[in-house]
């Protein structure tokens, strides 16, 4: 049975996952971009050459979601570009990522069009990222309806809030991983998987499971990334402090407070020694993070400057002005017949998306 909820879907994450999930082996194991391009013709495509492997996977997931989880309200959020306001703050943000393959890039534009034409709201722009729109939707509507964010991006965990009934449906790499998490957290309470009613490969995070899995509370995720960094987004963090980060944050709550304590102690050598002794003896931090946390350099981003900037980069915006009402996202606008029309146009078998008719 469906419970009332508003599901916000990270469309960029979902489409990318679907694209890479069904790539031909020749592309998956190719060592160069040139070699990959030679096999683009093997990617699932319509008769007119339109690439469809990612669209196929995403439409199948959406159809299953609408049938089994039956959200009352739904929205899709997408990344439009990497050149958002974060790159203005830090030019190397997401700088280690390769270019989006052309077959996937084409499907992004088409997928957004399909979603809109079958009745869904799609939010994206050049200034903000998908998670910023998700965060702004959550903050705008969380007092009106339980909210769920569906993604595989752990940045979204910072939006989880038990007080407002905001959960994260995190897509795992394998169903076995989702089952392991279920056994770890839900089966103990005698809860059956079918009662939880989650999509395939998904585990639902609450504030408690975020704390137990990540070592910090949801609202501390930006602080955690401020210290540990995030290689996937090329957020630098503070090198050499990774394992101490959750411990420091459990004690001091925020990056800013950690540095307040450090600066207060630096006024006196004894106080500074006492602080580091406290970290070692009371908090159990075997290797003092003080030098790394306070390192300064003209040549590289490090220390306090890196921590504060990294936290800013990792923090999801929740204040994008949204000129929408809750009813604008009502799932009843979903037009399954429009999906079937698109399947015909893209030469995708209807049964592969909706299953066999009973």
Mean pLDDT within 71-77: 98
Please indicate, yes or no, if residue 212 is contained in any of the structural domains.
no
Please indicate, yes or no, if residue 170 is contained in any of the structural domains.
yes
In which domain, by residue range, is 176 found?
6-152+163-205+325-354
Instruction: Answer yes or no: is pLDDT of 1 > 60.
Output: no
pLDDT tens sequence across 260-311: 999 999 999 999 999 999 999 999 999 999 999 999 998 899 999 999 999 9
Residues 193 and 330 in one domain: yes
Residues 64 and 91 in one domain: yes
Sequence-distant (6+) residues with CB within 8 A of 104 are 15, 16, 19, 51, 54
Pick from 13-17, 30-34, 116-120, 188-192: least confident: 188-192
Residues 200 and 100 in one domain: yes
Mean pLDDT within 98-107: 95
Residues 169 and 123 in one domain: yes
**Alpha-carbon torsion, ordered 208, 210, 212, 217, to 10 deg:** -80
Residues 61 and 195 in one domain: yes
Please indicate, yes or no, if residue 158 is contained in any of the structural domains.
no
pLDDT value for 38: 96
Pick from 57-66, 78-87, 99-108, 189-198: least confident: 189-198
Instruction: Answer yes or no: is pLDDT of 257 > 70.
Output: yes
Sequence-distant (6+) residues with CB within 8 A of 37 are none
pLDDT tens sequence across 20-40: 999 999 999 999 999 999 999
Average pLDDT value over all residues in the chain: 95
What tokens does 275 get?
Answer: 């602080």
Q: How many domains does the chain have?
A: 2
Q: Rounded CA gap, 87 and 179, in Å?
A: 37
Instruction: Answer yes or no: is pLDDT of 162 > 90.
Output: yes
Please indicate, yes or no, if residue 213 is contained in any of the structural domains.
no
Instruction: Answer yes or no: is pLDDT of 192 > 50.
Output: yes
Please indicate, yes or no, if residue 320 is contained in any of the structural domains.
no
CATH number at residue 142: 3.40.50.1010
Mean pLDDT within 322-345: 97
Residues 194 and 270 in one domain: no
Residues 272 and 338 in one domain: no
pLDDT tens sequence across 11-24: 999 999 999 999 99
What pairs with residue 74 in β-bridges? 7
pLDDT value for 189: 67
Residues 263 and 285 in one domain: yes
Mean pLDDT within 212-220: 97
CATH number at residue 270: 1.10.150
Residues 81 and 180 in one domain: yes
Please indicate, yes or no, if residue 271 is contained in any of the structural domains.
yes
| Integer CA distances (angstroms), 45 to 86, 104, 107, 279, 340, in order | 35, 12, 11, 58, 17
Sequence-distant (6+) residues with CB within 8 A of 230 are 155, 237, 310, 314
* DSSP designation for 190: T
Please indicate, yes or no, if residue 143 is contained in any of the structural domains.
yes
Please indicate, yes or no, if residue 247 is contained in any of the structural domains.
yes
Give the orientation angle of helix 130-141 with respect to helix 11-21, to 10 degrees: 130
pTM value is 0.94
Residues 26 and 74 in one domain: yes
Residues 174 and 97 in one domain: yes
Query: What percent of the chain lies above the pLDDT cut of 70?
Result: 98
pLDDT band at 358 (very low <50, low <70, confident <90, very high): very low
Residues 99 and 234 in one domain: no
């Amino acid at each position: 049975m469906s419970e009332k909820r508003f599901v916000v879907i990270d469309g960029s994450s979902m489409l990318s996952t679907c694209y890479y999930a069904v790539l031909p082996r020749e592309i998956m194991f190719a060592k160069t971009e040139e070699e990959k391009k030679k096999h683009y013709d093997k990617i699932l495509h319509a008769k007119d050459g339109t690439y469809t492997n990612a669209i196929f996977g995403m439409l199948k997931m959406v159809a299953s979601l609408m049938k089994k989880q039956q959200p009352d309200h739904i929205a899709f959020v997408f990344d439009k570009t990497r050149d958002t306001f974060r790159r203005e703050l830090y030019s190397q943000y997401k700088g280690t990522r390769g270019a989006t393959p052309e077959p996937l890039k084409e499907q992004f534009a088409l997928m957004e069009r399909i979603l809109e034409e079958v009745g869904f709201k799609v939010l994206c722009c050049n200034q903000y990222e998908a998670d910023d729109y998700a965060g702004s939707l959550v903050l705008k509507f969380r007092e009106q309806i339980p909210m769920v964010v569906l993604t595989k991006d752990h940045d979204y965990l910072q939006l989880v809030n038990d007080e407002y009934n905001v959960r994260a449906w995190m897509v795992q790499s394998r169903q076995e991983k989702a089952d392991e998490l279920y056994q770890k957290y839900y089966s103990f309470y005698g809860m059956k998987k079918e009662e939880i009613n989650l999509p395939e490969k998904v585990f639902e995070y609450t504030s408690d499971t975020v704390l137990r899995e990540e070592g910090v509370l949801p609202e501390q995720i930006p602080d955690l990334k401020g210290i540990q960094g995030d290689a996937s987004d090329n957020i630098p963090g503070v090198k050499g402090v990774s394992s101490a980060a959750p411990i420091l944050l459990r004690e001091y709550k925020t990056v800013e407070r950690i540095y307040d304590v450090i600066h207060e102690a630096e006024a006196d050598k004894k106080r500074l020694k006492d602080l580091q002794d406290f970290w070692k003896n009371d908090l159990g931090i075997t290797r003092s993070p003080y030098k790394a946390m306070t390192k300064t350099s003209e040549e590289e981003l490090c220390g306090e400057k890196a921590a504060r900037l990294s936290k800013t980069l990792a923090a999801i915006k929740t204040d994008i002005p949204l000129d929408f009402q809750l009813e604008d996202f009502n799932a009843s606008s979903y037009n399954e017949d429009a999906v079937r029309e698109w399947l015909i146009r893209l030469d995708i078998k209807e049964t592969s998306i909706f299953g066999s008719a009973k």
